[in-house]
Amino acid sequence: MTFISERDLAVPMRDGVLLRADVYRTPDDVPRPALLALSPYGKGKQTLGAMGSQPGGSPLWDGGVEAGDPGYLTDHGYVHVIADARGSGHSEGLYRGWMAKQDGEDGHDLVEWIAAQPWCDGNVGMVGISAFGTVQLHAAAEQPPHLKAIMPWNAPADFYREATHHGGIVQTFFQDLYARSMRGRAVSVVAEQESDEAFRARLEEASADPDLRMYTTLWNMVDNPESNPSFHDVLLNPLDGPFYRERSANSRYDRIQIPVYARSAWWAYAHMHLVGTFEHFTGIPGLCKIRVDEPVDEERPLGEDYNAEVVRWYDHWLKGERTGIADEPPITLFLQGSGETRHEHEWPLARTEWTTLFLCPDGSLGSDPPAEATRELLQRPLVETREIERLRYLTPPLAAPLELTGPFALTLHAALDQPDANWIVVLVDVAPDGTERELTRGYLKASHRAVDEARSEPWLPFHPHDEAVPVVPGEVVEYRIAISPTANVFPADHRLALDLTMLDHRGDPRPPPGVSPVHMPWHICSSATTRATIHHGNGARSSLLVPVIAERGHPWAS
């Protein structure tokens, strides 16, 4: 079926600001359900056919082209509306960074405008991934009457913990994203809220940070306040608080009362998309379906597999057709290492056998607690080396296949010779021939080690990140580090490795096959040479909690 397009339609928001939208629909004037895509990535490039279909890793691959395919969606009976977010592209107004409150409100107003148009039958959903996905949660929390369901794929739940500060450590992906894909009339929220004098003082304080000064590109942004205003707000808000709560969907879960279909992939940039998918499932009170696939960057523009799933979801919720999607269990998981896909009903899995493995001073990882002994990790800063030092802890070869599916948690007892450090924990599947496949990571800034026990589970320590308390050099301190979930079947003779590190940089971590290096997370790390002494036994037993799915066998059963 042929579709027609209407470009740059002016859509008035509640405060009079005009957002611009492109509408793709069939030429026959029959009212149909509509699907809204909204982001600051640029509506025009979403349908720029010249790029063709590009796989991850292609030099033409553009991660911001993720609004869905108007041709496919109109062929299947939908109107597709793609809009520029406030302060970006062709829309009026000011851009105040990722998911400012205005974005959810604008999503509400766009939905209601769409529902009132003669080409819409009054049923509206939303499409797109990442920023396009996250804004769906914020729009749903505004409760527009005509928004009947959403499909927020690759959507962070917690802007601080999942996107800008992994374990309290600043990660730099948003510096690049704001500069590359969110160009517009951006303003610093901190600058708006404070006097010029106070704002300059905050910038001067940030620019004096010896860690930041090691990264000249990042330091130069602080020294030039208009260069990247939205990332200035990240640097000037080092602790969790109102700035991040406004931008975090999990702060408004109680207001999301329509069906939700969330999706991500294992690894998923080591935190940013994956963790939120599970948080949506456990936190949204109504119907929430999730799916987690193998680690891969989808082709751009998004391919038929994505668009077909959009149609399957919305044919049920907007057209009332039986597509089978409502009959499936709520969780679909891809199992790495086996290639299987399996349905589940809860998270973490009820049949999980939580198992403690002890870090041993000989470098082993096993079920028997060791005697007291220590190991040392010495990391020099990037100004001296690019070598990432690690302490590896390795299980014996497995006698039979083993499945680990769920979140992990590390309890680490260590003394530092500096007042702060960045713990970066990596879990790896090691084959008999030495081939390695990274599974997941966990992060914690030492000064952010405080745990809120009331909000924690054994497998998921919750750090409030509301203050930074320096470590007393030489004092043995307990660190509880959440490690992002994974699902992996280890074949016989494979091993689980835990790598304890304190540094990463551009180019490390290396992504799994099929994942573009565009999405590498790397963090502002220490400018000081740091020595860590790891304690293993007696009253300071360092250990890893692992989620064993025992139907495949349990080599570490007590």
Tell me: cis bond preceding 513? Omega within 30 of 0 counts: no
The confidence score (pLDDT) of residue 66 equals 92
Residue 202 has pLDDT above 80, yes or no: yes
- CA torsion 452-454-456-458 (nearest 10°) is 120
Distance CA 236, CA 85 (A): 24
Longest dimension (CA), the chain: 77
Q: Quote the number of domains for the chain.
A: 3
pLDDT grade for 193, boundaries at 50, 70 and 90: very high
Same domain assignment for residues 231 and 282: no
The confidence score (pLDDT) of residue 29 equals 84
The confidence score (pLDDT) of residue 52 equals 79
pLDDT in tens, 294-320: 988 788 888 889 999 999 999 999 999
Strands 422-430 and 436-445: antiparallel
pLDDT in tens, 252-298: 999 999 999 999 999 866 567 899 999 999 999 999 999 999 988 78
The answer to whether residue 438 sits within a structural domain is yes
Residue 75 structural domain: 4-158+248-328
The answer to whether residue 334 sits within a structural domain is no
The confidence score (pLDDT) of residue 516 equals 65
Which residues lie across from 149 on neighbouring strands?
none
Residue 39 neighbours by CB under 8 Å, 6+ apart: 64, 67, 84, 85, 88, 128, 130, 131, 132, 135
The confidence score (pLDDT) of residue 154 equals 94
pLDDT in tens, 506-522: 877 766 666 666 666 78
Distance CA 150, CA 127 (A): 7
Residue 352 neighbours by CB under 8 Å, 6+ apart: 405, 406, 547, 548, 549
Same domain assignment for residues 365 and 308: no
Same domain assignment for residues 501 and 366: yes
Please state which of the ranges 196-205, 236-245, 343-352, 410-419 shows the lowest mean pLDDT. 196-205
For tokens 């600001």, what's the residue? Answer: 17
Residue 116 neighbours by CB under 8 Å, 6+ apart: none
Same domain assignment for residues 312 and 404: no
The answer to whether residue 346 sits within a structural domain is no
Distance CA 541, CA 206 (A): 37
From the list 226, 180, 233, 176, the residue with the least C-alpha distance to 206 is 233
Using a pLDDT cut of 90, give the percent of the chain over it: 80
For tokens 């939700």, what's the residue? Answer: 260
Please state which of the ranges 184-188, 406-410, 412-416, 449-453 shows the lowest mean pLDDT. 184-188
Residue 416 has pLDDT above 90, yes or no: yes
Q: Where are the alpha helices (DSSP H) in 162-215?
A: 173-180, 189-193, 196-207, 210-213
Give the CATH number for residue 81.
Answer: 3.40.50.1820
From the list 87, 91, 111, the residue with the least C-alpha distance to 99 is 87
Residue 558 has pLDDT above 60, yes or no: no
Residue 505 has pLDDT above 70, yes or no: yes
Distance CA 236, CA 239 (A): 9
Residue 32 has pLDDT above 80, yes or no: yes
Q: Single out the residue in 194, 215, 242 at which a domain terminates.
A: 242
pLDDT grade for 475, boundaries at 50, 70 and 90: very high
DSSP letter assigned to residue 122: E
Distance CA 284, CA 72 (A): 30
Same domain assignment for residues 15 and 52: yes
Q: Which two tokens stand for residue 552?
A: 């495949």
Q: Which two tokens stand for residue 422?
A: 């960045």
Residue 459 has pLDDT above 80, yes or no: yes
CA distances from 24 to 312, 426, 442 (A): 19, 45, 42
Q: Which two tokens stand for residue 414?
A: 């260590």
Note the residue count of the chain: 558
The confidence score (pLDDT) of residue 410 equals 98
pLDDT grade for 48, boundaries at 50, 70 and 90: confident
From the list 127, 139, 129, the residue with the least C-alpha distance to 13 is 139
User: Residue 288 corresponds to which amino acid?
Assistant: C
Residue 179 has pLDDT above 90, yes or no: no
The confidence score (pLDDT) of residue 297 equals 78
From the list 355, 358, 459, the residue with the least C-alpha distance to 407 is 459
Same domain assignment for residues 59 and 153: yes
The answer to whether residue 333 sits within a structural domain is no
Cβ burial, residue 384 (10 Å; 0-12/13-18/19+) = exposed
Q: Single out the residue in 242, 266, 301 at which a domain terminates.
A: 242
Using a pLDDT cut of 70, give the percent of the chain over it: 96
From the list 281, 503, 287, the residue with the least C-alpha distance to 384 is 503
Asked if residues 84 and 19 have their Cβ atoms less than 8 Å apart, the reply is yes
Of residues 372 and 352, more confidently modeled: 352
From the list 294, 292, 288, the residue with the least C-alpha distance to 330 is 288
Same domain assignment for residues 236 and 108: no
Report helix, strand and coil shares of the chain as percent, to nearest 5. Answer: 25, 30, 45
CA 110 to chain centre: 26
Instruction: List strands edge to edge, sheet with 32-39.
Output: 4-12, 18-25, 79-84, 32-39, 120-126
The answer to whether residue 470 sits within a structural domain is yes
The confidence score (pLDDT) of residue 552 equals 67
Query: Collapsing DSSP states into helix, strand and coil, what is residue 544?
Result: strand
Q: Single out the residue in 211, 242, 273 at which a domain terminates.
A: 242
User: Residue 479 corresponds to which amino acid?
Assistant: Y
Asked if residues 428 and 542 have their Cβ atoms less than 8 Å apart, the reply is no
Distance CA 308, CA 509 (A): 32
For residues 107-136, average pLDDT? 97
Residue 222 φ then ψ, to 5°: -65, -35
For residues 19-35, average pLDDT? 96
Same domain assignment for residues 185 and 82: no
Give the CATH number for residue 507.
Answer: 2.60.120.260
The confidence score (pLDDT) of residue 1 equals 54
Same domain assignment for residues 209 and 174: yes
For residues 491-513, average pLDDT? 88
Residue 348 has pLDDT above 90, yes or no: yes
Residue 213 has pLDDT above 60, yes or no: yes
Same domain assignment for residues 388 and 286: no
Mean pLDDT, all residues of the chain = 93
The answer to whether residue 342 sits within a structural domain is no
- Determine which helix (DSSP H) or strand (DSSP E) holds 304, and give its type and residue range: helix 304-317
The confidence score (pLDDT) of residue 58 equals 83
Same domain assignment for residues 173 and 275: no
Residue 556 has pLDDT above 80, yes or no: no
Same domain assignment for residues 386 and 410: yes
The answer to whether residue 335 sits within a structural domain is no
The answer to whether residue 124 sits within a structural domain is yes
